[in-house]
Amino acid sequence: MKMYLLITHLLLHLALFYSVNAQTIILDESISDWSDNDIVANEKGDNTTLDFETLSVSNDETYLFLRLKINNELLLQSNSNILFALDIDNNAQTGFAVEGIGSELIFNFGNRTGKIYRGNNDFEIFHDDIGLITSPTVSSDEFEIAIERRFNVGGTEYFIGNDISFYFLDNRGSTSDYIPNRGNAARYTLNENLISNNSNFQIEKDPLSDFRILSYNVRRDDIFDPSKAEAYQNILQTLIPDVFCFQEIYDNSAQDVYDRLISWNVLDPNDEWFLAKNGNDIITISKFPIKFDREIGGNGMIVLDVNNRDVIVFNLHLPCCDNDQGRVNEIDQMLALIRESKNGNSSYPFAENSPIVILGDMNFVGFSSQVNSIINGDVINTSQYGNDFSIDWDNSGLADLIPQTTGFSSSFTWKNTSSSFFPGRLDYIFYTDSQLESLNSLVFNTRGINEQALLSNNLNLRDTETASDHSPLISDFKFKVEVSNSKPIVNQYLKFYPNPATDRIFVESNNKAKEINVYAVDGTLIIKHMEDLSSSTFLEVEVLQSGYYILEVLLIDGTYLRKPFVKK
């Protein structure tokens, strides 16, 4: 029977699990953390061209957060004329005059530049000067924006605190829209009781997962740059994935990468690892056997044998920048291959319910339709690549994993302080969530990791930015359907309590239990209980010594629950 070691998962003193305070706003392409109370202007329908519909504002101790809803989808950083004017000191007599406020800060999102006004002087600024982050990176009709509350420009420290005033405006002439309307600037008093949600992140692999997978663009073979070796070594020794999916390794082979990882003690030379290189720059290194691999449109398709089950991985590096058509072509080629492989019409037909993971540097900086194309199986050029289809086996779309960036209230995977483009989400993991569950995921950024955690993991603050302008993307996946036919499905209607326990553990489910087991964290079976079980039962645990254990409940329908608990 397959068991998992939970020691590192349960013992927090290993310093690999870090918690912070209650949730505020996270820039993660979801608006569920915003409330109606955050709305400061609702002016839908007052302009026939670009109409600013609603404006919301919030903050924590680090960021000022803004949410802007407009009537048309656009690319905020490329084809917009949207300006933000902020009166930091709420004094109309200082800064640049904009419809009744004195703006110390004006930022033009389409030009990706702004200005700070102080006295008779002005200073040009870029995103990194004010810690600007926006989401999403692709086109949208709604954007979340974060600006650091404390920044330094021209030798002067600025702090966004107390009361502020601001507008968003369309910079295209006298008929352009403002929100709020001209002469009625938004007023906001910052709430100093709101604490940053810098994520509850777990660096270690979740011990209940079946495999950990990493996606990492290492920026044109920089993993072989001696000046970056320490940073890469620190990162990869910390993350320890089961499957490495690298992009942008052009001038070196998969064997070269394997040898480099061996020299850094990232891999154990006594273990067997499996290698593949596809296209010009796609390298995959796996502890699981690679049963099949091929190139598709310059990208890689790799079939892994994970515990006797096929896992199909597409390791992608799509064309950069404004090459929307190039990205569409490569996505269409991949979708056509997946469709035909599911139908049994390819060189490697997919076994039914084989999990599919699509990951890599997608370079999604253009239209949102490219993201939706992968999620929904929407083939753009149907005349050449065939019909649309549903990628997941339950005829639904793929799940788009959007992990939080460690230590940040955002989910960006790319940042380059030398570029005018803002930090963005360029790296993705899509997966068939009918077959896989992500138990733990993160965008690994050492800038957001506290000093104690850096020391305990032999990391430096600047490791990720030294290594690459992309951050590593990690997910710990568990099969929803077990390979073993004895426990095929995790039951969502099964619970136990109390935890911690003293003398009894009560179990409730929507079906009759046939077996309850208790294991030590090393996998040793301690208690096996198979008599007088019903849909509501209990297990005597008084005989157990104080410590950590694993409870496993098997139901007559084959579903199960397996979770750790503490015996007082």
Q: Is the pLDDT of residue 19 over 90?
A: no
State residue 11's pLDDT score.
Answer: 33
Residue 51's Cβ-side half-sphere holds a number of Cα atoms within 13 Å equal to: 11
Once rounded to an integer, what is the mean pLDDT over residues 185-195?
Answer: 93
What does DSSP say about strands 243-247 and 211-217: parallel, antiparallel, or unpaired? parallel
Confidence of residue 55 (pLDDT cuts 50, 70, 90): very high
Q: Rounded distance, CA 363 to CA 470, Å?
A: 11
pLDDT per residue as tens digits for the range 316-370 = 999 999 999 999 999 999 999 999 999 999 999 999 999 999 999 999 999 999 9
Find the mean pLDDT for residues 28-56.
94
- pTM confidence score: 0.82
Written as one letter, the residue type at 293 is D
Measured between alpha carbons, how far is 290 from 244 in angstroms, rounded to an integer? 12
Q: What pLDDT score was predicted for residue 502?
A: 86
Average pLDDT (206-224) is 97
pLDDT of 271 strictly over 50: yes
- In percent, the amount of the chain with pLDDT more than 90 equals 76
Q: What confidence category does residue 14 fall into, taking pLDDT thresholds of 50, 70 and 90?
A: very low
**E strands present in 127-185:** 133-135, 140-148, 150-153, 156-159, 163-170, 178-179
* Per-residue model confidence (pLDDT) at position 535: 61
Dig out the tokens for 110 from the structure.
Answer: 């389409």
More confident site: 505 or 429: 429
**CA–centroid distance for 313 within its chain:** 18
Identify which has the larger pLDDT, 17 or 537.
Answer: 537
Task: Tell me the mean pLDDT in the region 55-70.
Answer: 96
pLDDT, position 550: 79
pLDDT in the model for residue 484: 44
Please indicate whether residue 554 or residue 105 has the higher confidence score (pLDDT): 105
Q: Give the mean model confidence (pLDDT) for residues 285-300.
A: 97
Least confident span in 2-6, 186-190, 445-449, 463-467: 2-6
Point out which residues pair with 307 in neighbouring strands.
Answer: none
* pLDDT reading at 563 higher than 90: no
Least reliable range by pLDDT among 111-115, 148-152, 267-271, 530-534: 530-534
Strand partners, 277: 283
User: What integer is the mean pLDDT of 177-198?
Assistant: 92
More confident residue, 145 or 24: 145
The mean predicted confidence, pLDDT, of the chain is 90
Report how far residue 271's alpha carbon sits from residue 104's, in angstroms, rounded to the nearest whole number.
59
Look at the block and give the residue holding tokens 């966004």.
Answer: 160
Residue 520 has pLDDT above 90, yes or no: no
| Mean pLDDT to the nearest integer, 296-312 | 96
In 3D space, the residue among 146, 61, 167 whose CA is nearest the CA of residue 422 turns out to be 146
> Which residues does residue 442 pair with via DSSP β-bridges, in sequence order?
474
297-318: average pLDDT:
97
pLDDT at 419 > cutoff 50: yes
Rg over alpha carbons for the chain, rounded to the nearest Å, is 26
423: its two tokens: 């930090």
Burial class (CB in 10 A: 0-12, 13-18, 19+), 148: middle
pLDDT beyond 70 at 15: no
pLDDT at residue 18, rounded to an integer: 35
